[in-house]
Structure formats: C-alpha cells, structure tokens
Amino acid sequence: MTVVTAIAISGVSSADWALVGACLALAVATALFIFYIRPDASDLAPHRSKLDQLMERRDTLYDNLRDLRFEFRSGKYAENDYEAMKTSLENEAAMTLAEIDQITESQVRRPRGIKPLPSDRGAQ
C-alpha cells in the first residue's frame, strides 16, 4: 500500500497542490464568514432621520417619566430625589419637543400671502 500511496502522491504536480490549497483556504474563509462574522445592527437598520431620532428620544423620556412616577409611588425614591429627577427629565423632554417643533416647522411649507386676482376693471 505504501507503494500505491507514494505513486499517487508523486503523480500530483505542484500546480495541483496549489489549486487544492487555494480551494481549502476559500472553504475555510467561507466557513469563518458564515459562522463567526456577525453583521452590526446598524448595518441592518435603515437610515433614520433627525426627526425619527428625536421622536424616539421623546418616547423614551415619556416612558422614563412614567416609570419614575411609578417607582416614587411604590416608595423607591424620596420626594426630594423624585422632584429633582422629574424636573431633569421634564426639562430634557421640553428641549426635545422644541427641537421637534423646529424641525417640523422648517419642513412645512407655509403659503405665502394670498395673491390678489387680477381685477376686471376694464370690463366695467
């Protein structure tokens, strides 16, 4: 058997070994890409506009205010701490709402004054 193996190995040229090596390297690289490389979440998410980001921030702030109120009522926070955190969240929410208003007002086309219709004074 060793003679057959030696003949089989000696009958393969170096170009064939290079081709086999390249195929194996490609297979290993493909397996690594499929099983080990995960896409970043930002690659999969569609591009969000500034307005979308602000709306999401607004919703998060409202949720935080609701949760803070619940936790205060359940006795987790002292009244002074609750008022300080509530004021901070309300101020941040107000700034976020102001930014949303600024963006939406700039996107809305306001009609310019009503154009007067040409009068038919010559017809009278």
Average pLDDT, integer, range 68-94:
96
Q: Which of 49-53, 69-73, 76-80 has the lowest mean pLDDT?
A: 49-53
Convert the pLDDT of each residue in 8-18 to its tens digit.
556 667 778 88
Q: How high is the mean pLDDT of the chain?
A: 82
**Residue 102: pLDDT band by 50, 70, 90 thresholds?**
very high
**Res 63 pLDDT > 90:** yes
Three-class SS of the chain: CHHHHHHHHHCCCHHHHHHHHHHHHHHHHHHHHHHHCCCCHHHHCCCCCHHHHHHHHHHHHHHHHHHHHHHHHCCCCCHHHHHHHHHHHHHHHHHHHHHHHHHHHHHCCCCCCCCCCCCCHHHC
pLDDT at position 111: 59
Opening angle at CA 104, ends 99 and 45, nearest 5: 80
pLDDT at position 43: 62
pLDDT at position 3: 47
Domain extents in the chain: 47-107
